[in-house]
């Protein structure tokens, strides 16, 4: 897994609760995403 966006309400300490992003080193805040947003972010990270 490289990244996974999630809105399950299990990380109540995240500032963007319930929205968050799982990355290899943990969980970080993330706003709610549309598919287009996800694809753009993936493209930015692969440049």
pLDDT at 42 (0 to 100): 83
Which residue reads 């897994």 in tokens? 1
Those residues whose C-beta lies under 8 Å from the C-beta of residue 39, and which sit 6 or more positions away, are none
Residue 47: predicted pLDDT:
66
Q: What is the pLDDT of residues 17-32, one digit of tens each?
A: 999 999 999 999 999 8
pTM of the model: 0.77
Q: Considering only residues 38 and 15, tell me which one the structure prediction assigns the higher pLDDT.
A: 15
Residue 33 pLDDT more than 70? yes
Name the domain count of the chain: 1
How many Å apart are CA 47 and CA 44, to the nearest integer?
6
Q: Which domain holds residue 17?
A: 4-45
Cα dihedral 33, 38, 39, 45 sign: positive
């Amino acid at each position: 897994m490289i990244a996974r966006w999630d809105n399950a309400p299990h990380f109540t300490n995240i500032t963007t609760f319930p929205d968050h992003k799982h990355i290899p080193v943990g969980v970080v805040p993330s706003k709610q995403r549309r598919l287009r947003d996800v694809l753009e972010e993936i493209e930015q990270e692969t440049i």
